[in-house]
A and B are shown apart, each in its own frame.
Chain A
Amino acid sequence: MPHPDTEKRQFVRFSRLNRILHAAMIVSFLSLALTGMTLKFSYTGWAAFLSHLLGGFETAGYIHRAAAVVMFSTFIAHLWDLARLKKEKYGTWRVLLFGPNTMLPTRRDLSEFGATLKWFVGLGPRPRYGRWTYWEKFDYFAVFWGIAIIGFTGLTLWFPVFFTRFLPGWIINVATIIHSDEALLATGFIFTVHFFNTHLRPEKFPMDVTIFTGYMPLAELERDKPREYEALVAAGKLEENLIDPYPAIVVRTIRAFARTALTLGFSIVVLIIYAMLFAYR
C-alpha cells in the first residue's frame, strides 16, 4: 500500500525554469506565428483583419522581431540550464547525454517506435515508456532544428545589409523562401502533431497541464511512464520527487493560460487550412 497521502501528492516532472522557458516559448512562438502568418497569407481577409488589429504590418514586424529575441533568449537560457545541470547534478556530459533519462534518441526508442506501431493496429501491448518517449524527443529536437533554420534565415532578413557583406545576394531570396515555408512547417507541426501528442491523445484529452504546472498525478506517471516509475520505486527515490499540488486558484490560472494558448494555436491552424484550401497562391 502506498503512503495514504500519495494519492493526493504529485510527481515533479518539470523544474520551475523549464516551465518558465516553455511559457516564454509559447508566448513568443504564438506571437511569431501570428505576425508571420498574417504576412505570409496577406492576401486573405483574416490576415488583413488581424494585421489591422495588431497595428499594421509594420507594427506586426516589431512584434515579430521582439518575439524572436524572446525565443532566442529562451533557447540560450535552456543551454545555460543544461550546462548548470551538468555541473550540479550529472557531473559529466557523458552521464547527462547518455544516462537513462537522456534526451538523445536511443536504440530503445527505435524498438519502442516499432512496438507502438504494432500497438496502434492491435498487434501487441502498449510499450512501457520511460521518462521521455520517442515523440517527446522528436518534438524537443524539432525545436533545435527550427531555431537553427528559422532563426538564421530570420536574422539574414532582419540584417540583410550586414549579411550580404560576406554572402551573395541570392541568400536573401533563398532565406525568404526557407523562413516562410519552414515556419509553415513549424506552426503546422506544433499546432497539430505536438498538440495531438500532448493534448489530443485519448488518455490526455482534452488537455495535459503537466508542462504548465510541472506536476503530474502519480497514477498518470505509473500509467504513461511505467519504466521511469518502476526505476524510481526500485531506487527508492519516488518519495523525494513527490510534492503537494498547487492551490486550486493557481491551477485555475495556469489552466486558463494553457486554454488560451491552445485556442490561439488551433485557431491559427484553422486559418492556415482555410488559406491553403481556398486562397493559396
Chain B
Amino acid sequence: MESGKRAPGLATAAAALCLSLAPGVARAATDCLACHGEKEFKGAAGRSLFVDAARQKASVHGGLACNDCHTGIADYPHPKKIAKVQCASCHEDQARDVPKSAHSALGREACQSCHGEPHDVKRASAVTPEHCAQCHAAEVKDFFSSVHTAAAKNGDAQSPNCLSCHGPVHRILAADDPNSPVAKKNLPDTCASCHSNADFLSKHQIPFAHPVEAYKLSIHGRAVAAGNSAAASCSDCHGNHAIFPAKDQRSAINHWKVPGTCGHCHTEIAKTYLESIHGQAMRDGAEGAPVCTDCHGEHTILAPRESQSLVNPGRVSTVTCGRCHGDERLDARYNLPADRVPTFADSFHGLESRAGGQTVANCASCHGVHDIYPSSDLRSSINPANLARTCGKCHRGAGTKFAIGKVHLRQQTPSEPVAAMWIRRMYWVTIPFAVGFMFLHHLLDFLKKLRRKGPRKESGEELPRMNLHFRVAHWLTVVSFPVLVITGFALKFPESWWARPLLLWESRFTFRGWVHRGAGIILLVSLAYHLVHLLLVQRDRAFLRSMIPDLGDAHALSRMFLYNLGLAEERPTFGKFNYVEKIEYLAFLWGTAVMAATGFTLWFNNLALRYFPKWVSDAATALHYYEAILATLAIVIWHFYTVIFDPDVYPMDRAWLTGKASADHLRHTRPEYYAELRRVQQRGEQEREKEDAKGEKHR
C-alpha cells in the first residue's frame, strides 16, 4: 500500500516494461489456484488470501490471467513482498482522473468502492445508483423518490442517473467545487442539457417555454452568473435530488409551498406576505390568492426597476394587480370590487402611468407591496386613519385639513363625486346644444350663400380692422391654443398614435405636462396683454363696449335664421361686431377663466389637496376636461367657419395677419360700421390736409 502511494506512476511503468519484455510468461491460473483456491488459505497476518475462481471468471476481468494484474509474480514461489495491484496499468485515463475527483478522498479504495471486490469487478454499466447509495444513502433515497427516477421507471430512456448531472464518472467533483457541473454557477447549463431542448420539453409535456434561458435573463440568473453565491440557482427552488413536478405536494415549487421556498432567502418579505390579506387568504386555502410567483413570475423574475418586470411601477397596476382585480371570476368568487383597475386607469395616476410615467402612483404606492391589508385593517396604508400619511408621501399635507375622499372614482357610477356629476351633466347638455346650435346656424348660412347667384363684385379694397396690439394677443393665442389642445388630449388618450410622440420621454421627464403648462402660461400672457392693452389705450377701449351683447343681437339672430331659411327678404346687418363674434369673444374669456382656475388647481394639486377637500380636485378635473372639449369644438366649428369656411371670407379672413378686412364684405354685412370707418378715414384725411395747410402757412 505504501509503495503504491509513493510512486504509482513508476510502478505502472515498470509493470508495463516487464510485460512487454517477457512475452509468454503468463502463468496459468491453475498454478495460482493451487494455493489461492483453498478456502482456508490465509496470509501471515491471518488475512484470507482465497480467490473465488468462479466469481473471478464471471467478472468483467474473467478473461485476464492472475499476473496480468499481479505483475510482480513471474514464477513459483513468488517473492514474499509483491507489488500492489495497479488498476492504472490498464485503466490509465481513469486512474489519472480519479485523483482529481472528489472520490480521491477514498484513496486506494477509490476504484473498488464503486467497482466492487478486486476479483469480482463489475461491468461499468452495472454500476447503478444503488452503488452510489452505499455512501450517499440520503441523496440517492431522495433521488429514487424524484420525478427523474419515476421517469426511468416508466421506461423513459432519457431519464437521468447520478452521472447525468454530476459529471464524468471518474471526475466527479464536490458540489461546492466551482468546476462541478452541479456547482451553483454551472447548474443552469447542466439542467439545460435536457430542459432547454425543445424536443425534450415537448416530448415530456413540460409546459414551459425556455425555462433555463428565461432564468438566465432573470435577476436570479444574472446574480448567479456574476458570482453571487447567495442567489438562487435551479436547485435552490426546485430542490436537488428530491425534484418533483409542481403539482406534487412534496415539491418545493408546489403552489402552497412557494412562499416557504422563496422565504428561505427572502425571509422578512415572506413573513410580511404571510401576514397580509394575500398571505392570509393563501393560508386559508384560497386558490385564487396570489403567492410570490403570481406577481413576480417564475423563471423570469426581474428587479422592480427593470421596465419588463411584472412589478415595474409602470406595469404593476395593469399587468399584475389587474390580472386578478379585474377578473370577473375572481371578483365574483371573493366579492372584490370590480372597478378598481378601470377607475385607476381613468384617474390622473392611471393616465400618466399609461403614458409611461414612472414616478406617478401605482397600486402598490398606496396599497403597499407585500404588506397589503383590507382598508378595514388598522395596519392598512389605506385605512382612513392612515390615508393622510399615505397620500402625504407624495402630496405633502394632503388630507391634513380635510379627510381624503373617495379615491377610486368612475363617472356615471355612484362613486362619482356629486360636484363632478353635475359638471358632467351640465356639459353633456351645453356641448351638444352650443355646438349643435352653431353648427346648424352656420350650415344654414353656408347653404344660403351656396344658392347665391354669381360672385359678388369685388373692389379689393381693404379697411383697418385689427391693430397690432389685437393681433399680437391673437398670435399668442394661435400659438398656444392648439398646443394646449394636443398636449391636453394626449393625457386622456395616452395610447393613441398621435399622443405617442409627445410621450416618448415620459419615463424620465414629463415633457407633455410641461409643454401643456408652458402653453397655458402663453395663453394667459396673451389674455393679460389684451387686457393691459385695453386698459392703457383709451381709443381701443371702445372695443369692449362694442362686444357687449344686447337685445338687438337676439333680434338679429332670429332674423338671420329667417333669412337663411328663405322666410325673410333682408339679411340683417351689424355694427362693428355681429352676435357670433360677441359670443366667441365672451366664450373665450369665460373659457380661459375656467381653464385657468381649474388648470392651476390641478397644477398645484398639493396645495389643493392640502387646503380643499378632495372633491374640489375631482371637480376641477372634470371641469377642465369638459370645458376643453367645448372650447376645442367651439374653435373648430364656430371660429373656423367664421374665419375660413364662410364663403364671404374663404379661403381665410386675413385680418389676424394684415390687420385689414375686405371693404366689400364690411359694406355688405356691416353698413353702419363701414360708414363709421369711412367717416374716420375722411376725418383723418381732413386733419392731414389741415396739418399740411398749416405747414404751408408756417413755411
Contacts and interface: CB of A to CB of B under 8 A. Distances in A.
Contacts of B449: 206
A280 B450 contact: no
B493 A206 contact: no
A277 B485 CA distance: 13
B422 interface: no
Contact of A277 (B447, B450, B496): B496
Interface in A236-281: 255, 259, 277-278, 280
Contacts of A280: 496-497
Nearest to B492: A278
B46 interface: no
B285 interface: no
B41 interface: no
Contacts of B450: 206-207, 255, 259
A206 B498 CA distance: 31
A205 B498 contact: no
Nearest to A202: B651
A278 B492 CA distance: 10
A206 B450 CA distance: 7
A255 B449 CA distance: 13
B590 interface: no
Interface in B485-513: 493, 496-498
Interface in B427-470: 446-447, 449-450
Interface string A156-184: 00000000000000000000000000000
Interface in A214-247: none
Contacts of A205: 647, 650-651
Contacts of B650: 202, 205-206
Contacts of B498: 277
Interface string B648-666: 0011000000000000000
A265 to B, nearest CB: 15
B456 to A, nearest CB: 13
Contacts of A277: 493, 496, 498
Size bracket, chain B contacts: 10 to 19
A16 to B, nearest CB: 25
B247 to A, nearest CB: 39
Contact of B647 (A206, A255, A278): A206
Interface in A30-85: none
B651 A278 contact: no
Contacts of B651: 202, 205
B496 A206 contact: no
Interface in A192-226: 202, 205-207
A259 B450 CA distance: 10
A278 B496 contact: yes
Contacts of A207: 450
Nearest to B454: A217
Nearest to A281: B495
Contacts of B493: 277-278
A193 to B, nearest CB: 16
Describe B's contact surface by its main secondary structure: loop
Nearest to A219: B455
Describe A's contact surface by its main secondary structure: loop
Interface string B166-187: 0000000000000000000000
Contacts of A259: 447, 450
A205 B651 CA distance: 8
Contacts of B446: 206
**Most B CB atoms within 10 A — which of A202, A205, A206, A277?**
A206
Interface in B505-555: none
Interface string B613-656: 00000000000000000000000000000000001001100000
A26 to B, nearest CB: 18
A278 B647 CA distance: 30
Nearest to B497: A280
A205 B449 CA distance: 11
A277 B493 CA distance: 9
Nearest to B498: A277
A199 to B, nearest CB: 11
Interface in B470-494: 493
Interface in B74-129: none
Contacts of B496: 277-278, 280
B355 to A, nearest CB: 16
Contacts of A202: 650-651
Nearest to B493: A278
Interface in A3-48: none
A207 B493 CA distance: 36
A255 B446 CA distance: 14
A212 B131 CA distance: 100
Nearest to B499: A277
A255 B498 CA distance: 38
B488 to A, nearest CB: 13
A277 B450 CA distance: 31
A251 B447 CA distance: 15
A28 to B, nearest CB: 25
B31 to A, nearest CB: 83
A130 B493 CA distance: 48
A277 B651 CA distance: 26
A75 B651 CA distance: 35
A256 to B, nearest CB: 10
Nearest to B652: A202
B447 to A, nearest CB: 8
B226 to A, nearest CB: 42
B593 to A, nearest CB: 27
Nearest to A252: B451
Nearest to B452: A206
A259 B448 CA distance: 12
A277 B486 CA distance: 11
B684 to A, nearest CB: 31
A235 to B, nearest CB: 29
Contacts of A206: 446, 449-450, 647, 650
A259 B443 CA distance: 12
A205 B493 CA distance: 35
B683 to A, nearest CB: 35
A121 B436 CA distance: 37
Interface in A111-170: none
A261 to B, nearest CB: 14
A278 B415 CA distance: 25
Contacts of B497: 280
A206 B644 CA distance: 11
A202 B497 CA distance: 33
Interface in B18-55: none
Contacts of B447: 259
A202 B651 CA distance: 6
A255 B452 CA distance: 12
A177 B438 CA distance: 39
Contacts of A255: 450
B632 to A, nearest CB: 11
A280 B493 CA distance: 11
A278 B496 CA distance: 7
A259 B650 CA distance: 18
Nearest to A205: B650
**Most B CB atoms within 10 A — which of A207, A255, A277?**
A277
A259 B498 CA distance: 32
Interface in B56-86: none
A206 B446 CA distance: 9
A30 B650 CA distance: 27
A260 B497 CA distance: 32
A44 to B, nearest CB: 13
A117 to B, nearest CB: 18
A225 to B, nearest CB: 18
7 contacts: A202-B650, A206-B446, A206-B449, A207-B450, A278-B493, A280-B496, A280-B497
A-B interface, 8 closest residue pairs, ranked by CB to CB distance from nearest: A202-B651, A205-B650, A206-B647, A206-B450, A278-B493, A202-B650, A205-B647, A207-B450
Given A206-B446, A206-B650, 13 more contacts: A202-B650, A202-B651, A205-B651, A206-B449, A206-B647, A207-B450, A255-B450, A259-B447, A259-B450, A277-B498, A278-B493, A278-B496, A280-B497
